[in-house]
Amino acid sequence: MHAVPLWKKLLKQNFSSIEKLMDFLELDSENRDKVLLKSSFILNLPIRLAEKIEKNSLDDPIGRQFIPLKEENKVGEDCKEDPVNDCTFQLSPKLLQKYQSRSLLITTSACAMHCRYCFRRNYPYETSKSDFDFEIESIKKSFSQKEVILSGGDPLSLSNEKLRGLLKELESLESIQIIRFHTRFPIGIPERIDDELIEILGGLSKKVVFILHTNHPKELDDELKLRLSHLLEKKITLLNQTVLLKGVNDSVNILEELSWKLISLGVLPYYLHQLDPVKGGSHFKVTEEKGKEIISELKKRVPGYLVPKFVREIPGELSKTIIL
């Protein structure tokens, strides 16, 4: 019988009870009154991130991303259940064909954490089958595909055993040159990058790219740096995407600090996303005008390679649309 990996043990310790989290954060009655106690999008927060949140504060940049607030009930005019029209591009619930040369595989609905602004918080995930036979065959038949994007949920929610099997199938596809992971898992549970995962990734012949999702410098630390160094040793490219969020990172000082801290970990800033207008997330919205101002000022402060592209997703376009 195999021992349960450390990362799975840590995952089971995530906060899922809003009452326990409020007690842990020592919220007073005034702050507790602002918290949304019941939501269809349940609380899911690693202890490691909860420990970084300032006590008795709803303004902490990490706390704002994960603590459900009553503000979620205020629905903006442009807010939608499916803000990027994912369902329009489904070849199956697990396979999205949005781009000419890339296939997007929805590997799982599971995630290490639930970000309150998540654009897939209402996605109709496939739960009836666990294999990817149809999806692999579909990608195989499309000779134009150069890259497979593993998304979710979070692809690192899959066990090493399942990942090994999936990656073996993707390795067999001749046209595929790049396997890309979109993951936030290492930010909350860096122990997910364990020896077995490193062995699996290091044995691949395809180019591997990791797109991390980090919004604030407080999310980054020495433990994460150590884990990411193992990926860098395997020649895995590390990039980061950030979502522009009101009250979290909507200032040039924060994004400047984030860029410098990312590169110190061997990670290049890639995208700064304008918020997708998902229902329940309108209180995070920052205007495009302010985003442009932030990027213009950021260009004066850091090298060009540390300035993320400011983009938004327009459903139907064949790539992200650059705002500035």
* 321-322 and 309-312 beta bridge pairing: antiparallel
- Nearest-angstrom CA–CA distance, 240 and 187: 11
H-helix or E-strand spanning residue 187: helix 185-188
79 annotated ligand binder: no
- Phi then psi for 105, rounded to 5 degrees? -105, 120
Is residue 77 within 8 Å of residue 279, measured between CB atoms?
no
87 is in an annotated binding site: no
Cβ neighbours around 151 below 10 Å, total: 19
The C-alpha angle with vertex 27 and arms to 21 and 29, in degrees rounded to 5, equals 125
Question: Can you read off the two tokens belonging to residue 245?
Answer: 């969020």
- Structure-block tokens of residue 111: 């995630």
DSSP state of 100: S
Q: How far apart are CA 173 and CA 205, in angstroms?
A: 11
Annotated ligand binding at 111? The verdict is: yes
User: Which residues does the annotation place in the binding site?
Assistant: 111, 115, 118
User: Which residues does the annotation place in the binding site for [4Fe-4S] cluster?
Assistant: 111, 115, 118
